[in-house]
Each structure stands twice: as C-alpha cells, then as structure tokens.
Amino acid sequence: MAIQKTAANYAQIFHALSDEKRLAILDLLRAGERCVCDIAGPIGMKQSLLSFHLKVLREAGLLRSARVGKWIHYSIHPEAGDVLESFGRELAMSAMSAKVVFCC
Amino acid sequence: MAIQKTAANYAQIFHALSDEKRLAILDLLRAGERCVCDIAGPIGMKQSLLSFHLKVLREAGLLRSARVGKWIHYSIHPEAGDVLESFGRELAMSAMSAKVVFCC
DNA sequence: TTGACAAATCAAATTTTATTGATATGATAT
DNA sequence: ATATCATATCAATAAAATTTGATTTGTCAA
C-alpha cells in the first residue's frame, strides 16, 4: 500500500505542474533521462533558472536526479504518473456518483 | 475524441489545483453539488475570497456552476477527473518505457 | 594543485497570486 | 418599487513565486 498523500503534498505536486516551462521539462524527459546541460538547450533557459525549476519538480517528487561523474542526470520519478492517475480516477469516480442536492 | 489540451491548458488546470483551500473545495464537492453559501461554512472563508477561488477552479474547467433561483450551485465538472487521470497515465507509461541515455 | 566545466545556491528585482473590504449585479419576496 | 439575500467584481494591499546575475560547490583532467 502506498503512503497516503496529504492535501499539502498534492498542492505541492500540482504547483510544480502549474508552469508551462516545467511541463516542457517533464515532456522532454518522457523520452528518457538527461543531464541538465542537455535540457537547457531544448528548453531555452538560463542555467540558474533551469536549476530552480528542476528543484521545484524534484522536491514535489516528480523528478529524481543522480550524479554521473561531472553531470547530474534527471529523470521522471517512476511513481509520478501513478499518483496523478489515481487522483484523477478518484475524482472521476466521485463526480460520477455525486448526489444532486440542491442545498438551499 | 476529446479536444486536445495544450500545455497552457494543463498549466491552468494544475495551477487551480495547486492551493490547499481549492483542494478542500473540490473535496467538499465530491459528495455532490452545493451552493456557495453552503461551501463557505465548512471551508471557513469570506464570501469574496471563496468567490475568487471558485472562479479559478471554474475557469480551469474543474467545476461548473448553475444558477438555481437565488443561489448558484457548484459541482465537479464531469470530465475533470478524466483529464487528470489520462495525463497521469501517459506520464506513467512514458516513464516506464523511457530510455536510460546517459547523455553527456 | 590548478584550471575548466557542470550544477546549485544566494540576494535582489520583478512578476504573479491571494486576500481584504467595499461595491455592484441579479433574483426573490413584500 | 423596495428591501433583502446570494454571489460576483473591483481596487488596493500583502504575500508568494519567478527571474536575473553573481558566487559557490563539486568533479574531473592536466
């Protein structure tokens, strides 16, 4: 059983995904692991800024990183997609079975 | 076939979900449709602020609203969960098949 | 050990987002 | 028509996130 995520966890994950440039980074990494220097070019971002965005994604648990000699390789965290998928599925299920209350 | 979402669309959706208070609103509505006045209490938010957050969620396509006499009822958009679920699934799939490149 | 390269961190400036209180709009009932 | 209730909008402020340029840290090779 996976560890239960709090609302704060989800807010952090969604915040990391709330920026087009970070979505572009994620999209680039869908093809596979890359070092920072090979992300900078395609994404078109200065080194320090890219580093900032990578940190946001990594701290949210969406990316992981590993040093390989002089370089640091980033890749999509294996569980990232599952977390989003199950959040979406639960939302879809509750929306389907939700009562129409006409509360007032 | 569903309409293709752009990166800007996704960024907007994720931004709407990036706030704990908005996640609490969404969670409350999982039980079913409610008018604004019946959200304010449980969420504990001033009227104008709640109205702002509902707008963020609605404009992202996560909620929909309908006037019922004097009241406006909000509910989870039927497609909201599906959009997130498929985003998550695609991410999970690409992470699974991603090549280890060791680029540098 | 020095030099060069890769990436992270920091402080300052900028931009975006959230919050507040006041006001406007729209519906209902008298 | 007027009063009242529900919600949205607006302008001002406060708070948070992003961007920039400079500096630091860590690794390798000469």
B100 interface with A at CB cutoff 8 Å: yes
Q: Which nucleotides of C are covered by protein (CB under 7 A)?
A: 5-10, 17-23, 26-28
B19 φ/ψ angles, rounded to the nearest 5 degrees: -125, 130
What is the three-class DSSP state of B24? helix
pLDDT tens for the 104 residues of chain B, in order: 667 889 999 999 999 999 999 999 999 999 999 999 999 999 999 999 999 999 999 999 999 999 999 999 999 999 999 999 999 999 999 988 876 554 44
Gap between the Cα atoms of B33 and A44, Å rounded: 44
**Which of A71, A54, A70 is closest to A62 using CA atoms?**
A54
B55 touches strand D (CB under 7 A): yes
Taking an 8 Å cut-off on Cβ atoms, the answer to whether A104 and B30 are in contact is no
pLDDT in the model for residue B35 = 95
Residues B60 and B16 sit within 8 Å (Cβ to Cβ): yes
Q: How far is the CA of B51 from the C1' of D9 (A)?
A: 10
Q: Tell whether the model's pLDDT for residue A101 goes beyond 60.
A: no
B75 touches strand D (CB under 7 A): no
**Which of B97, B62, B65, B68 is closest to B81 using CA atoms?**
B62
Q: Which domains does chain B have, with CATH numbers?
A: 10-97 (1.10.10.10)
A11-48 tens-digit pLDDT: 999 999 999 999 999 999 999 999 999 999 999 999 99
A44-64 tens-digit pLDDT: 999 999 999 999 999 999 999
With beta carbons under 8 A apart, name residues in chain A contacting B86.
88
